[in-house]
Structure 1
Amino acid sequence: MAISCSFFLFMVFTMMDHHVGGHENVCEELRCGGKGPAIRFPFRLSHTRQPDHCSFPGFTLSCTDSNQTLLELPISVKLFVEEIDYISQVIQLSDPNHCFPIELRRLNLSSSPFQFLFHEQDYYPRGYGLFNCSQSTDQRNGIFRISCLSGPTHQVYALDLNDGQSLMELPISSCTKMYNIPYVPEMGDANILHLNWSTPDCRHCEQRGENCRILKNNNSTDESKTECFPRQRNHAKGRTSTKLEIVGAILGSFLLVLLVFAIYRVYRYDKVEKENQAKIEMFLEDYRNLKPSRYTYSDIRRITNEFADKLGQGAYGTVFKGKLSNEIYVAVKILNTSKGKGEEFLNEVGTMGTIHHVNVVRLVGFCADGFRRALVYEFLSNNSLDKFISSADVKNQFLGWDKLQDIAIGIAKGIEYLHQGCDQRILHFDIKPHNILLDQNFNPKISDFGLAKLCSKDQSAVSMTTARGTMGYIAPEVFSRNFGNVTYKVDVYSFGMLLLEMVGGRKNTEVTKENISQVYFPEWIYNCLEQKEDFRVFVEDDGDAHIAKKLAVVGLWCIQWHPLKRPSMKVAVQMLEGGDNLIMPPNPFATTATTRTNARIPAMDFRQELQVIPESE
């Protein structure tokens, strides 16, 4: 029905266009937006239905978005048309940039039908030279000051090159020649340029109040000969009346069609709309379900459009952008079959399938089709936090301290949920900026649970046979039990390193023998805080400095070498949300003896009993 309606309207408007457009071959007088100078032969407006014979070559004008009339001269010099005097055949132009001497420098009218309009006393074209002078001089005959090129410390003058006397009056010793221009607008500063044309000559027609056109059936070789013909003054009114009649007929027909279509829609509404609502409700119910859907490999190929849009690649797989049939975008991670024995796949599905939190990426579905495995996540448009904090000195990538604080609080709440909000405690083991994704509003979401472990909430330590995580973010107890047992405090340590990286804009992963000292850049931050020095990052006011210091202090508390001295994530959230009077932590980089003697630094004790327990299967 809608197609029939559209076809009917198309046919009606086509007939209308044919009826009222029968006079389109007449070279009517037009204006840009109904205002501006009248445009008629030898001029013509581009992008209209007027035929080419309505204008003369080189006289095509156009309209800007603001309905200014525009003339384009050779070498792409574009000027606004202010007035057109058809009797004198003079066109008045203005420069959009209000500085004609710049445009005139590259203006060449040799291939244009227009010429500069000179005064009657000028028997030859006058040329001018532009001079940049450090001293000012009086504006005299033959010397014009160009204000749009002058400044507080210099003056630019246009000098008549044909007037030798004016050259003597210019302080030439303090001037530098810039370039020549063929013409200087009146008084040097006026933003008005007058051009005239001699061909085609329609002055005799305009003086008689008639229109002008190229002479038809011209047998001579002169193709610029013109003839006059009477103006049809009432033609526009007749066309307007005809248009109103046809518009009324079309509107009546269209209303009739709408009435028929409305009746049809009411008839079909109950059945079609109820079916659509049932589909929507079913989808929303499925979407709210915490259990991820299982897809076949052919589904994955369809969702990713045959893997057309690649988002990134890592050690465990490649991520592609996809779209579900319900217009929801997703990120599809195709796992490498050569990596591990499927542990990452089991961890992701087993862990994320039960998680539902605003600061944790949602697992939409998975694929386990033979040896092919894939994970389907919600799509987050702003990628990872890594690209926004890898260089805090790049201002166009810096999010601002208020937003960084919101992101830090969101990450902390997400980790707190993993530690306390689930049936079993989830240890992520790989908290780092690359695994923090940002949605369209820069809200953070924790992702990549391939290294995660589960343990009971009443027992807080896990046994491990090998270290896991990313260098620079791994807690010391993961490498050596001399620092304590492996507990949920490993995520607290990683979060602290992430906070310090947000403050310093420094990567923690590029560790070599040559730059191994870079791993200890948190010590530099600690020294800056202790000695009240600047971090040398973007801090525009005292409020920004307060946020930067808060993030740094919380980060230093979280990276204490001994797990017992680190706060829980619940306490870290409280410190970030409040934190007006945070206490400086003990120096985590000092020796044991130094720490004991440094009695002036108050201590915060977050101790609790940590019992080693076996890892949950």
Structure 2
Amino acid sequence: MGIVSAQMQQAVLITYLCLILVAFSKVHGETQKPCEELKCSPHGPAIRFPFRIKDRHPDHCGYPGFVVSCNDRHETVLELPTIPVKLSVESINYERQEMYLYDPDNCLVAKLIEIRNMSFSPFYVIDRQNITLFNCSSLVMQHGGLDPNPNYPVAAPCLNSPGHQVYAVDSAGHVEDLQSCTKMYNVFSVPYYFRGEQVVPFPWSKPNCTECDAEGKKCRLKNSDTNNEIECVLDLRKANMSATTKSVITGAFLGSFVLILLVIAAYRVYSYDKNEKENRLKIERFLEEYRALKPSRYSYADIKEITDQFKDKLGEGAYGTVYKGKLSSDLFVAVKVLDSSKGDGEDFINEVGAMGRIHHVNVVRLVGFCADGFRRALVYEFLPNGPLQDFISSADNKYCFLGWDKLQDIALGVAQGIEYLHQGCDQRILHFDIKPHNVLLDYNFTPKLSDFGLAKLCSKDESIVSMTTARGTMGYIAPEVFSRNFGKVSYKSDVYSFGMLLLEIIRGKKNIGATTENTNQDYYPEAVYNLLEEGEDPRIHFGEEGDDEIPMKLAIVGLWCIQWNPVDRPSMNAVVQMLEGGEKLTKPPNPFASTGSTRSFATGPSRNSNLELETIVELE
């Protein structure tokens, strides 16, 4: 109710100010001829600034380079001198600043081949692909052609010859259905198109009218400006002024009581919106720099359509709710809708910024995102087997035991994913929330790291990252994250969390820490070490006899990873080698000994981590 109330106050304040401006001042820009919104056909896209229709709009109604025309079929055609072919405009999304082009002759592929090396200024290509052209015999055509599914080849009828049909296929895709066809040649760097719809998107970044739209104003070129700068002006058509309304506002303006109310309302709205506007501006600046990484940006309306009005809920966390969605008939996604009442947008920026730099088989792929006002969402690939936690939480639930070989493969995959975050990217990514809930499993039970809301980026050649507050999940957080008395925060903090994950895998149920509620129960990691000391099997039995080497290996690696001193923990590269190797591992030092120093993972002497590592500034 607080959000709704503040928005109503803001609406009332804006209305008062608009009426006062109309009644007592000359509106800026009144001398410029109004520019109407026009269409080439009743069902065609609406044309307004920065676009204009040639011969129907004055020149000042559009931005240079944004000219369209209406052809004899009443189609909207893009008019750019650098494009030798004609492409029609299917739709224009002014909020996302994207236009969608198609070929009315149903031969978009051939048109894109012709224009692939040409400039589209002021537009740019979102993504490109390599395609291969195949010449198919009439025998294929007699059987109804090829499957029109978007994952299959696309016909290019304008390239056909008598008795032959030309198809284009993604060079990296499968070509099993083209065995009766002849390969013609490859075409590189073709603008990406939606194969099922034969539509290609072309966004623009300048002019940027989003701020005008957010203020409820109209965007246009400045008067007598030769630098093509834009300005935001009041849209008089939305004011809907009447003589009666003007009289009421005149009286209100003269009344001191109304003035006082306006000042109070303005102050309250300013106080409420200040932080939200700063957060939105921070996110928009980040997304502008992030554009080159090329994930899809969706509006909130798109998110509702993808999730079928948030019909299928998968789960709920501290910062948002996850829904199952569908981008096409065979492409499912998981949509995480963030809670707008929590945080300042930092988690959103962390997750989008980190995952846009990651391309690894053991890390969840970010398909796209939504930053539509105060509404934010993240779109990931859908992993049907859910979190690892479901398969190790207990032995008597509905999820079957995966077996030690599969659990070892999962542990190795998670380790390789973390190693990639630490060493495989341009900047080192520290996850800070590694736990079984954040390890998702695909159809083949391949593990993928997820949830980068707490992640931090730092230089690869540095060891330490500065932090102002502890972050992570109880039971998995490294001791130095709680207190600098245990050392300084670094990539070794992720190693600790991974060690706790390994111990929970072999335990097979939720970790029990040394909490006041469980004072009569042994601290499980310490119990594992004691079992190793006694030569016993630390695993939890599931009613099946099997090889005890795997749980023993996981226990030893896990205990190396949770050494109290960060310097004594191995790097993730060393962890991967330990999990892959077949040789017998050295038993780690006791991580729970109350001595002043511990042995290093390397065979060298004891060291003090507080003296060896220098603090660096974390990157924004």
Using the size of structure 1 for normalisation, the TM-score is 0.53
What is aligned with 2:532? Answer: 529
Match of 1:319 among 322, 338, 352: 322
Deviation at 1:393, TM superposition (A): 6.3
Q: 1:397 aligned to 397, 400, 403, which one?
A: 400
Contact 1:585 1:603 (C-alpha < 8 Å) held by counterparts: no
Matching of residue 487 in structure 1 with residue 373 in structure 2: no
User: Does the 8 A contact of 1:407 with 1:442 survive in 2?
Assistant: yes
Matched ranges for 1:198-347 at <5 A? 262=142, 271=157, 277=169, 282=192, 291-325=294-328, 327-347=330-350
Report if the CA contact (8 A) 1:478-1:486 is conserved: yes
Question: Identity of aligned pairs, percent?
Answer: 65
Partner of 1:191: none
Superposed displacement of residue 518, structure 1: 5.3
Secondary structure of the residue aligned to 1:359 is: coil
Aligned to 2:499: 496
Q: 1:417 to 1:510 in 2, by over 3 A?
A: same
Q: Give the Cα–Cα distance (whole angstroms) in 1 for the partners of residues 349 and 326 of structure 2.
A: 24
Structure 2 counterparts to residues 574-613 of structure 1, below 5 A? 574-592=577-595, 609-613=612-616
Contact residue 323 and residue 335 of structure 2 kept, 8 A: yes
State the partner residue of 2:438.
435
1:417/1:300 Cα in 2 relative to 1: closer, same or farther (>3 Å)? same
Decide whether the 8 Å contact of 1:303 with 1:324 is kept in 2: yes
Aligned residue number for residue 549 of structure 2: 546
* Residue identity in the other structure for 2:469: T
Deviation at 1:508, TM superposition (A): 2.8
Pair 1:262–1:593, CA change in 2 (3 A): closer
Distance 1:284 1:552 in 2: 49
Give the 5 Å matches for 1:81-96: none
Aligned residue number for residue 474 of structure 1: 477
CA distance in 1, matches of 2:471, 2:326: 33
CA distance in 1, matches of 2:355, 2:429: 10
Tell me the distance in 1 between the aligned counterparts of 2:298 and 2:583. Answer: 49
Deviation at 1:395, TM superposition (A): 9.2
Q: Secondary structure at the match of 1:544?
A: coil
CA contact (8 A) 1:424 1:454 kept: yes
5+ residue gaps, structure 2: 1-137, 147-153, 159-164, 174-189, 202-291
Which residue identity does 2:306 align to in structure 1? I
CA gap 1:329/1:263 in 2 versus in 1, 3 angstroms: closer
**In structure 2, what residue type is equivalent to 1:360?**
V
The Cα shift of 1:274 comes to 5.1
- Decide whether the 8 Å contact of 1:290 with 1:355 is kept in 2: no
Partner of 2:53: none
Structure 1: distance between partners of 2:617 and 2:141 = 70
Contiguous gaps of at least 5 residues in structure 1: 1-257
CA distance in 2, matches of 1:581, 1:259: 62
Q: How many residue pairs end up in the alignment?
A: 355
Matched, 1:382 2:385: yes
Match of 1:470, SS state, is coil
What's the secondary structure of 2:409's corresponding residue?
helix
1:416-427 mapped onto 2 (5 Å cutoff) = 416-427=419-430
Matched, 1:461 2:464: yes
Distance 1:518 1:357, change over 3 A: farther
Letter in 2 for 1:362: R
- Report deviation, 1:390: 1.1
Contact 1:393 1:537 in 2 (8 A): no
Letter in 1 for 2:298: Y
Aligned counterpart, 1:84: none
**In structure 2, C-alpha distance between the alignment counterparts of 1:355 and 1:324, rounded to whole Å:** 22
> Alpha-carbon deviation of 1:569?
0.1
Residues 395 and 611 of structure 1, relative CA distance in 2, 3 Å threshold: same
Q: What secondary structure does 2:434 align onto?
A: coil
Letter in 2 for 1:262: Q
Instruction: Please state how far the C-alpha of 1:520 moved relative to its aligned partner.
Output: 2.2
SS at match of 1:554: helix
Question: In 1, distance between residues paired with 2:499 and 2:328?
Answer: 40
Superposed CA offset, 1:507-560 (max 9, x none):
237775221565821000111111012335237888630000000000000000
Q: Does 1:448 align with 2:462?
A: no
Indicate how the Cα distance of structure 1 residues 493 and 269 shifts in structure 2: closer, same or farther if over 3 A, else same: closer
Q: Corresponding residue for 1:356?
A: 359
Q: Secondary structure at the match of 1:397?
A: coil
Check 1:509–1:437 CA distance in 2 against 1; reply closer, same or farther (3 A cut). farther
Flag the 1:309–1:520 CA change in 2: closer, same or farther, 3 A.
Answer: same
Distance 2:485 2:603 in 1: 21
The alpha carbon displacement at 1:442 in A equals 0.3
* C-alpha spacing 1:393/1:544, structure 2 compared with 1 (3 Å): farther
- Please say if residues 291 and 354 of structure 1, whose CA atoms lie closer than 8 Å, have aligned partners that are also in contact: no
Contact 2:496–2:563 (CA<8 Å) still a contact in 1?
Answer: yes
Rounded Cα–Cα distance in structure 2 between residues aligned with 1:508 and 1:432 = 11
1:270 Cα offset (Å): 5.1
Contact 1:566 1:606 in 2 (8 A): no
Q: Distance in 1 between matches of 2:526 and 2:604?
A: 19
- Gap change, CA 1:579 and 1:473, over 3 Å in 2: farther
* Equivalent residue, structure 2, for 1:182: none
Deviates most, 533-542 or 346-355 = 533-542
- Structure 1 residue matching 2:473: 3-state secondary structure: coil
Change (3 A) 1:363 1:606: farther
Q: How far apart, CA to CA, are the structure 1 residues paired with 2:395 and 2:465?
A: 36
In 1, Cα distance between equivalents of 2:598 and 2:461: 32
Aligned-partner Cα distance in 2 for 1:355–1:308: 30
- Letter matched to residue 572 of structure 1: V
Q: For residues 591 and 499 of structure 1, what CA distance do their matches in structure 2 show? A: 23
* Cα distance change on mapping 1:498 and 1:516 into 2, 3 Å: farther
Matched-pair contact (CA < 8 Å) for 1:402–1:544: no
Write out per-residue CA displacement over residues 267-323 of structure 1, whole angstroms, 9 at most, x where no aligned residue. x96529757748998369999x95311011111111111111111010110000111
Q: 2:466·2:618 contact (CA, 8 Å) conserved in 1?
A: yes
Q: 1:317 to 1:510 in 2, by over 3 A?
A: farther
Post-superposition offset of 1:579:
4.8
Q: Distance in 2 between the 1:543 and 1:262 partners? A: 58
Aligned-partner Cα distance in 2 for 1:329–1:415: 25
- The aligned runs of 1:10-159 (5 Å cut-off) are none
Q: Partner amino acid for 1:435? A: N
Structure 1 Cα separation of the partners of residues 155 and 450 of structure 2: 44
Task: Specify the alignment match of 1:563 in structure 2.
Answer: 566
Letter in 2 for 1:345: F
Change (3 A) 1:586 1:276: same
In structure 2, the CA distance between the partners of 1:341 and 1:594, relative to structure 1 (3 Å rule), is: closer
8 Å Cα contact 2:560-2:569 kept in structure 1: yes
CA RMSD of aligned residues (A): 3.5
Point out the structure with max Rg over C-alpha: 1
- Native 8 Å contact 2:568 2:602 kept in 1: no
Q: 1:341 to 1:435 in 2, by over 3 A?
A: same
